[in-house]
Amino acid sequence: MVTKKSKSPDNYLDNHYIHRSNWLRAAVLGANDGILSTASLAIGIAAASVSREPIVLAALAGLVAGALSMAAGEYVSVSSQTDVEKADTEREKIELEEMPEIELQRLAEIYEKRGLKKETALTVAKELSEHDALGAHIRDELGINEISQAKPMQAAFSSGAAFTIGGILPLLVTLFMPLESMEYSLYGFALFFLIVLGAVAAKTGGSSIGKAIIRITFWGTVAMGLTALVGYLFNVNVG
């Protein structure tokens, strides 16, 4: 007899996707940028090149530089978010010490706006404040929780690793596909990689696979097409 998995307060979020949002966003952004940046760069060089070496070199340089830039950029940007969260937390501590009654009333107003009666909202605010006043204000006034809280190292590693994996794919195309049709091979394989990425990301995040594929392939086509156009317009032979 098959029984459904019992739900408890510890595992009730197992079937939800919001707890994946931080690392999933960074990973999808990194992989998408890895595929798109490396392929676009290689396509631009291929459009102006008569030999394989400059194309491979451009793809490899783009892969290394992009992965490091992505990881560093994610770390810096998410660290900035962490700094803001810490600053707001410290400010909230001071406000709770200097004007606890006003802060209590502000918390009660938040709950009242969410649908509680005035008396109930005040009771809830008092009980939560007695348990953990700072935690209640950080969560309900500032909107910071364990799921949405910034994690710089996680974001940096996810983005850098994902960019590397994404960038390796078009690099392999530059190494093994015929030079005569390199631009078309890069575009075709990159589009395929983007479709797979869009489908996997949508599946992981519980969103529409069709919409994800359309979105990622459209903008990928635009980016690669414009980069190829630049190579043709300059009409410079590389190699």
pLDDT at 63: 94
Lowest pLDDT segment from 66-70, 71-75, 120-124, 232-236: 232-236
Q: Who wins on pLDDT, 4 or 179?
A: 179
Other CB atoms within 10 A of residue 5 CB: 8
pLDDT at 8: 52
Q: Cα–Cα–Cα angle for 179, 180, 184, nearest 5°?
A: 90
Per-residue pLDDT of 153-190, as tens digits, reads 888 888 899 999 999 999 999 999 999 889 889 989 99
pLDDT at 2: 42
Mean pLDDT of 80-101: 87
**pLDDT at 226 exceeding the cut of 50:** yes
pLDDT at 13: 47
Assessment of whether the complete model's pTM goes beyond 0.85: no
**pLDDT at 18 exceeding the cut of 50:** no
Which band of pLDDT confidence, cut at 50, 70 and 90, is reported for residue 20?
Answer: low
